[in-house]
A = this chain, B = another copy of it.
Amino acid sequence: MSELSSPLSTLTAAFDADARAAVYRAIQTRRDVRRFRPEAVTDDALRRVLDAAHHAPSVGYMQPWSFIVVRSPETRRRVLDLYERERQAAACFYDEPRRSAYLAFKLQGILDAPINICVTCDPTRGGEVLGRNSMPETDVYSTCLAVQNLWLAARAEGLGVGWVSILKSAWLREILGIPPHVIPVAYLCLGVPERFDERPMLESAGWRERLPLDAVICDERWQALPAGSDR
Protein backbone atom coordinates (compact mmCIF):
# COMPACT_ATOMS: atom_id res chain seq x y z
CA MET A 1 0.00 0.00 0.00
CA SER A 2 3.08 2.19 -0.37
CA GLU A 3 1.41 4.34 -3.03
CA LEU A 4 -1.20 5.51 -0.55
CA SER A 5 1.41 7.41 1.42
CA SER A 6 2.71 9.21 -1.69
CA PRO A 7 1.70 12.82 -2.33
CA LEU A 8 -1.67 12.98 -4.05
CA SER A 9 -0.06 14.78 -7.01
CA THR A 10 1.90 11.61 -7.75
CA LEU A 11 -1.28 9.60 -7.55
CA THR A 12 -3.06 11.76 -10.11
CA ALA A 13 -0.58 10.76 -12.84
CA ALA A 14 -1.46 8.15 -15.45
CA PHE A 15 -1.95 4.51 -14.50
CA ASP A 16 0.65 2.15 -15.96
CA ALA A 17 -0.43 -1.12 -17.59
CA ASP A 18 -0.16 -3.15 -14.39
CA ALA A 19 -2.14 -0.66 -12.32
CA ARG A 20 -4.82 -0.46 -15.01
CA ALA A 21 -5.02 -4.24 -15.15
CA ALA A 22 -5.45 -4.40 -11.37
CA VAL A 23 -8.50 -2.15 -11.53
CA TYR A 24 -10.08 -4.25 -14.28
CA ARG A 25 -9.23 -7.40 -12.37
CA ALA A 26 -11.08 -6.15 -9.29
CA ILE A 27 -14.08 -5.27 -11.45
CA GLN A 28 -14.17 -8.54 -13.37
CA THR A 29 -13.44 -10.97 -10.54
CA ARG A 30 -15.70 -9.32 -7.93
CA ARG A 31 -18.44 -11.74 -6.94
CA ASP A 32 -21.54 -11.74 -4.77
CA VAL A 33 -20.23 -13.97 -2.00
CA ARG A 34 -22.56 -16.03 0.19
CA ARG A 35 -20.10 -18.59 1.63
CA PHE A 36 -17.59 -17.31 4.16
CA ARG A 37 -14.78 -18.72 6.25
CA PRO A 38 -14.85 -18.11 10.01
CA GLU A 39 -11.78 -15.84 10.04
CA ALA A 40 -12.23 -12.33 11.40
CA VAL A 41 -11.91 -9.18 9.30
CA THR A 42 -9.18 -6.96 10.74
CA ASP A 43 -10.17 -3.52 11.96
CA ASP A 44 -7.64 -1.99 9.55
CA ALA A 45 -9.11 -3.76 6.53
CA LEU A 46 -12.65 -2.84 7.58
CA ARG A 47 -11.63 0.79 7.93
CA ARG A 48 -9.97 0.81 4.51
CA VAL A 49 -13.04 -0.55 2.74
CA LEU A 50 -15.31 1.90 4.57
CA ASP A 51 -12.96 4.75 3.67
CA ALA A 52 -13.12 3.60 0.04
CA ALA A 53 -16.91 3.74 0.21
CA HIS A 54 -16.72 7.20 1.76
CA HIS A 55 -14.67 8.37 -1.25
CA ALA A 56 -17.55 7.73 -3.64
CA PRO A 57 -18.90 10.62 -5.67
CA SER A 58 -22.07 12.18 -4.30
CA VAL A 59 -24.49 14.72 -5.66
CA GLY A 60 -23.45 18.18 -4.44
CA TYR A 61 -20.84 16.49 -2.21
CA MET A 62 -23.80 15.49 -0.03
CA GLN A 63 -22.24 12.25 1.32
CA PRO A 64 -25.68 10.98 2.35
CA TRP A 65 -24.43 7.57 3.46
CA SER A 66 -23.91 5.96 6.85
CA PHE A 67 -22.42 2.53 7.47
CA ILE A 68 -23.98 0.54 10.30
CA VAL A 69 -21.45 -2.14 11.26
CA VAL A 70 -23.34 -5.07 12.77
CA ARG A 71 -21.51 -7.85 14.61
CA SER A 72 -24.06 -8.76 17.28
CA PRO A 73 -25.23 -12.35 16.71
CA GLU A 74 -28.63 -11.47 18.16
CA THR A 75 -29.17 -8.66 15.68
CA ARG A 76 -27.97 -10.81 12.80
CA ARG A 77 -30.33 -13.61 13.83
CA ARG A 78 -33.23 -11.16 13.65
CA VAL A 79 -32.14 -10.11 10.17
CA LEU A 80 -31.84 -13.76 9.14
CA ASP A 81 -35.36 -14.41 10.44
CA LEU A 82 -36.60 -11.52 8.31
CA TYR A 83 -34.73 -12.92 5.31
CA GLU A 84 -36.36 -16.33 5.77
CA ARG A 85 -39.84 -14.80 5.82
CA GLU A 86 -39.13 -12.73 2.71
CA ARG A 87 -37.62 -15.72 0.95
CA GLN A 88 -40.77 -17.76 1.51
CA ALA A 89 -42.90 -14.81 0.42
CA ALA A 90 -40.93 -14.43 -2.80
CA ALA A 91 -41.21 -18.17 -3.51
CA CYS A 92 -44.99 -17.70 -3.85
CA PHE A 93 -44.37 -15.97 -7.16
CA TYR A 94 -42.51 -18.84 -8.81
CA ASP A 95 -43.94 -22.01 -10.36
CA GLU A 96 -42.09 -25.31 -10.39
CA PRO A 97 -39.38 -26.16 -11.30
CA ARG A 98 -38.16 -22.57 -10.83
CA ARG A 99 -39.58 -22.46 -7.31
CA SER A 100 -37.56 -25.39 -5.98
CA ALA A 101 -34.46 -24.10 -7.71
CA TYR A 102 -34.95 -20.70 -6.07
CA LEU A 103 -35.42 -22.20 -2.61
CA ALA A 104 -32.29 -24.33 -3.02
CA PHE A 105 -30.00 -21.35 -3.64
CA LYS A 106 -27.89 -20.05 -0.79
CA LEU A 107 -28.48 -16.33 -1.13
CA GLN A 108 -27.04 -14.92 2.11
CA GLY A 109 -24.19 -15.28 4.58
CA ILE A 110 -25.69 -13.22 7.39
CA LEU A 111 -24.46 -15.44 10.23
CA ASP A 112 -21.47 -16.96 8.41
CA ALA A 113 -19.81 -13.64 7.70
CA PRO A 114 -18.27 -12.00 10.79
CA ILE A 115 -19.53 -8.56 9.81
CA ASN A 116 -22.75 -7.22 8.32
CA ILE A 117 -22.94 -3.65 7.09
CA CYS A 118 -26.16 -1.78 6.44
CA VAL A 119 -25.54 1.17 4.12
CA THR A 120 -28.15 3.88 4.62
CA CYS A 121 -29.06 7.11 2.82
CA ASP A 122 -30.26 10.20 4.67
CA PRO A 123 -32.18 12.34 2.15
CA THR A 124 -32.15 15.30 4.58
CA ARG A 125 -28.40 15.50 5.00
CA GLY A 126 -26.74 18.70 3.86
CA GLY A 127 -29.82 20.87 3.47
CA GLU A 128 -30.29 22.31 -0.04
CA VAL A 129 -27.96 20.09 -2.06
CA LEU A 130 -26.38 21.40 -5.26
CA GLY A 131 -27.41 19.42 -8.34
CA ARG A 132 -30.28 17.62 -6.61
CA ASN A 133 -33.13 19.93 -7.53
CA SER A 134 -34.04 18.13 -10.77
CA MET A 135 -33.42 14.52 -9.70
CA PRO A 136 -33.88 14.22 -5.91
CA GLU A 137 -33.24 10.47 -6.14
CA THR A 138 -29.55 11.16 -6.82
CA ASP A 139 -29.05 10.88 -3.05
CA VAL A 140 -29.80 7.17 -3.21
CA TYR A 141 -27.80 6.85 -6.43
CA SER A 142 -24.77 8.33 -4.63
CA THR A 143 -25.18 5.80 -1.84
CA CYS A 144 -25.09 2.96 -4.37
CA LEU A 145 -21.82 4.31 -5.81
CA ALA A 146 -20.39 4.03 -2.29
CA VAL A 147 -21.52 0.40 -2.12
CA GLN A 148 -19.63 -0.42 -5.32
CA ASN A 149 -16.46 1.27 -4.03
CA LEU A 150 -16.76 -0.84 -0.87
CA TRP A 151 -17.29 -4.00 -2.90
CA LEU A 152 -14.24 -3.44 -5.14
CA ALA A 153 -11.99 -2.42 -2.24
CA ALA A 154 -13.04 -5.58 -0.43
CA ARG A 155 -12.16 -7.64 -3.52
CA ALA A 156 -8.70 -6.09 -3.56
CA GLU A 157 -8.34 -6.96 0.15
CA GLY A 158 -9.31 -10.56 -0.57
CA LEU A 159 -12.62 -10.03 1.24
CA GLY A 160 -16.00 -11.11 -0.05
CA VAL A 161 -19.19 -9.08 -0.05
CA GLY A 162 -22.73 -10.35 -0.51
CA TRP A 163 -25.75 -8.04 -0.93
CA VAL A 164 -28.89 -9.36 0.74
CA SER A 165 -31.87 -7.74 -1.00
CA ILE A 166 -34.48 -10.21 0.27
CA LEU A 167 -35.43 -8.03 3.25
CA LYS A 168 -38.30 -5.68 4.02
CA SER A 169 -37.09 -2.11 4.59
CA ALA A 170 -39.65 -1.30 7.30
CA TRP A 171 -38.60 -4.31 9.40
CA LEU A 172 -34.91 -3.66 8.82
CA ARG A 173 -35.44 -0.10 10.07
CA GLU A 174 -37.01 -1.46 13.24
CA ILE A 175 -34.18 -3.95 13.87
CA LEU A 176 -31.39 -1.39 13.37
CA GLY A 177 -33.09 1.69 14.83
CA ILE A 178 -33.18 3.50 11.49
CA PRO A 179 -35.61 6.46 11.48
CA PRO A 180 -38.45 6.49 8.94
CA HIS A 181 -36.89 9.16 6.72
CA VAL A 182 -33.59 7.27 6.30
CA ILE A 183 -33.41 4.63 3.56
CA PRO A 184 -31.65 1.31 4.22
CA VAL A 185 -30.21 0.98 0.71
CA ALA A 186 -28.00 -2.09 1.05
CA TYR A 187 -27.52 -4.88 3.57
CA LEU A 188 -24.08 -6.41 3.04
CA CYS A 189 -22.26 -9.43 4.46
CA LEU A 190 -18.47 -8.99 4.68
CA GLY A 191 -15.87 -11.63 5.42
CA VAL A 192 -13.20 -13.95 4.11
CA PRO A 193 -14.82 -15.90 1.27
CA GLU A 194 -14.53 -19.63 0.81
CA ARG A 195 -13.49 -18.68 -2.71
CA PHE A 196 -14.15 -16.23 -5.53
CA ASP A 197 -16.10 -18.18 -8.14
CA GLU A 198 -15.04 -17.85 -11.75
CA ARG A 199 -18.58 -16.99 -12.81
CA PRO A 200 -21.62 -15.46 -11.08
CA MET A 201 -23.58 -18.15 -9.25
CA LEU A 202 -26.81 -17.57 -11.16
CA GLU A 203 -24.90 -17.98 -14.41
CA SER A 204 -23.15 -21.23 -13.47
CA ALA A 205 -26.46 -22.53 -12.07
CA GLY A 206 -28.11 -21.96 -15.44
CA TRP A 207 -30.61 -19.46 -13.99
CA ARG A 208 -29.71 -16.59 -16.31
CA GLU A 209 -26.92 -15.69 -18.74
CA ARG A 210 -24.79 -12.62 -19.13
CA LEU A 211 -26.18 -10.44 -21.92
CA PRO A 212 -23.85 -9.78 -24.86
CA LEU A 213 -22.18 -6.41 -24.36
CA ASP A 214 -23.39 -5.22 -27.76
CA ALA A 215 -26.99 -5.86 -26.69
CA VAL A 216 -26.78 -3.16 -24.00
CA ILE A 217 -24.94 -0.51 -26.04
CA CYS A 218 -27.20 1.90 -27.96
CA ASP A 219 -26.03 4.27 -30.68
CA GLU A 220 -27.26 7.85 -30.21
CA ARG A 221 -30.79 6.87 -29.11
CA TRP A 222 -32.32 4.26 -26.82
CA GLN A 223 -32.98 0.87 -28.38
CA ALA A 224 -34.67 -2.20 -26.95
CA LEU A 225 -32.63 -5.37 -26.45
CA PRO A 226 -32.26 -7.33 -29.69
CA ALA A 227 -34.87 -10.11 -29.84
CA GLY A 228 -33.67 -13.28 -28.15
CA SER A 229 -30.85 -11.73 -26.14
CA ASP A 230 -32.94 -11.66 -22.93
CA ARG A 231 -34.11 -15.08 -21.83
Secondary structure at the A interface, as helix, strand, loop or mixed, is mixed
Contact A222 B15 (CB under 8 A): no
A56-B208 contact, Cβ under 8 Å, with A4-B21, A19-B22, A134-B167: no
A147 within 8 A of B: yes
A36 within 8 A of B: no
Q: Give the Cβ gap from A47 to chain B, nearest Cβ, in Å.
A: 8
Contact A32 B57 (CB under 8 A): yes
A24-B50 contact, Cβ under 8 Å, with A131-B165, A220-B68: no
Residue among A131, A141, A151 with the highest chain B CB neighbour number at 10 A: A131
Residues of B within 8 A of A200 (CB): 61
Candidates B12, B48, B120, B137; contact of A29 at CB < 8 Å: B12
Which A182-231 residues have a C-beta within 8 angstroms of B? 182, 185-186, 195-198, 200, 202-203, 207-208, 210-211, 213, 216-223, 225, 230
* Distance in angstroms between the alpha carbons of A65 and B72 in the assembled complex: 36
